[in-house]
Amino acid sequence: MKFTANKKIFFAFTAAAVFILNSCIGLSMDIQLNKNGSGKLIMEYRISNTLIDLGAVDGNKNWPTIPVGRQDWERTIRRIDGAKLSSFSTNKTGQDTFIKVTIDFNNPDALLKIIDSAGGNSSLNMSGQLLSINLFDSPKDDISEYDDFIGMTGHMFEGYNFSISFGAWENSTLKITNQNGGAFNPPASAKIVNEGKKTSFSMEMKDLLNLSDNIELRFNW
């Protein structure tokens, strides 16, 4: 699987789930893959209530479309053959809304359609047993207008994190490189599990957005 993202559109896992990083969000994704290509996708995301109050909900063309209700997800999953919404929960605090979604899929194509709404950026190689994820894989001139914003408002992302984990039917390994295949020097907030039944990568959102190079995560099992 290959999944690309940039600082303007960081995650697009369904046509109704585009997160724009001019607002405060946090995201974690856990992929559990079975030998036959079925599995489970668990996503937890944290959205600033300010973003929701501004109208950033399904149907508002002027704001990023973010699924905040069960009906949003049910509407999306119904369009994907082989996928089923098995659980949905939400909890609202004074500052944020926390949403957790669990989706069962029975084939690799269903997983790809959930993760990649744009198409063409994701592929799953079951025989090669490789998951490759490129973060910020886009021309710098496409995102330069956001660099100054991120620098000025970095404090807004305090306490928000990005994480991804992957597990298969046997032990996995994780290798992280920069866009040229060279060594990746993680910031202090990065937490990496390179080998085991569950491999993972996490980092504070503000540090991830301030990385100077694209990075590639390669999960092998």
- Separation of alpha carbons 2 and 120, rounded Å: 9
Distance in angstroms (rounded) separating the CA atoms of residues 116 and 149:
26
pLDDT per residue of the chain (221 residues) written in tens, 0 to 9: 444 444 443 433 333 333 333 346 788 999 999 999 999 999 998 887 776 665 544 444 444 456 778 988 998 899 999 999 999 999 988 888 999 999 999 998 898 788 765 444 567 888 888 887 777 554 444 445 445 545 544 556 677 898 999 999 999 999 999 877 888 989 999 999 999 999 999 999 888 877 777 788 889 99
The CA-based angle 106-108-112, given to 5 degrees, is 115
Domain boundaries, the chain: 2-220
Burial of 141 (0-12, 13-18, 19+ CB in 10 A): exposed
pTM: 0.76
